[in-house]
Amino acid sequence: MGFGMTRLIKVNSRKLLRVIIRVALVIAFWRVFFIKKPDKWLKKPDKEQLEASSASWEGKGGLNCTAVVLGDPDSQKTAQWLAQNRDYRRKVKLTDEYYIKATHDCRDFRLTRGYATLAFHEEMDFPLAYSIVAHHKVENFERLLRAIYAPQNVYCVHVDTKANTTVAAAIANIASCFPNVFMVSQPVKVVYASWMRVQADLNACRICCTSARSGSISSTSVGRTSP
């Protein structure tokens, strides 16, 4: 009985091993041919399709964002391809110089970029204070600010002293267009995973504490992230 049980275990172990190997091969095949090379399997929209979609003022890929949100199939296919295209993802669509010029007319900038101007009564009674640390990619910073912006909140921005002059100027111009967005007056040279990274947050939080309404809740973020 003991010998038979041992043999049965060995047979079942071999079967289980074969199943595991087959599953691993299927997963590997899927990753290589469907996940690692999405551009190969996604059909690129033709030129007529791209031109048919009216480009939004901020886009350069012929993408109609409104049509995507409303569920237009052609626009959604275009958006899917652009999201998978490496060259498109790496391309800077809005430059630092654009923000420097666009913020000369703050009212037009806020309106064109779609910033929130009104808040619900419940939100007015629950303000938030955000501290943001940025060092490059102004477009990402501005998208983050626009996504979390509300008129009752307070936003304190720290720009790394290592940042390019155009980056610092663009972010400062954006902040100047809002009465509740403040720049840290004493920025520091941020070093990742060091105390200076914490110091940058503390400097931003100090500004938020002096500017925020009583009862505000503080939150920190990095300028290149998205909520």
**pLDDT single digits (tens) 172-188:** 999 999 999 999 888 88
- pLDDT score of 110: 93
Tell me how crowded residue 225 is: count the other CB atoms within 10 A of its CB.
12
- Residues 25 and 191: their CA atoms lie apart, in Å, by 43
Residue 8 or residue 25, greater confidence: 25
- pLDDT score of 11: 53
Chain centroid to Cα 191, Å, comes to 22
Residue 168 or residue 53, greater confidence: 168
Domain ranges of the chain: 1-36, 43-91, 106-222
The fraction of the chain above a pLDDT of 70, given in percent, is 69
- pLDDT score of 4: 52
CATH number of 106-222: 3.40.50
Q: Are 182 and 156 spatial neighbours (Cβ–Cβ below 8 Å)?
A: yes
pLDDT tens, residue by residue, 51-95: 444 444 344 456 777 788 888 888 888 888 877 776 766 666 788
Which residues neighbour 127 within 8 Å (Cβ) at sequence distance 6 or greater?
152, 153, 154, 212, 213, 215, 216
Instruction: Classify 219 as helix, strand or coil.
Output: strand
Average pLDDT, the chain: 76
Q: What are the tokens at 156? A: 């304190």
Residue 221 or residue 139, greater confidence: 139
Question: Taking the model in full, what pTM does it have?
Answer: 0.61
Q: Are 98 and 125 spatial neighbours (Cβ–Cβ below 8 Å)?
A: no
| CA angle in degrees (0–180, nearest 5) for 109-171-162 | 165
Q: From 192, 221, 212, 209, select the one nearest 132 (Cα to Cα).
A: 221
Q: From 156, 159, 140, select the one nearest 96 (Cα to Cα).
A: 140
The DSSP code for 156 is E
- pLDDT score of 55: 40
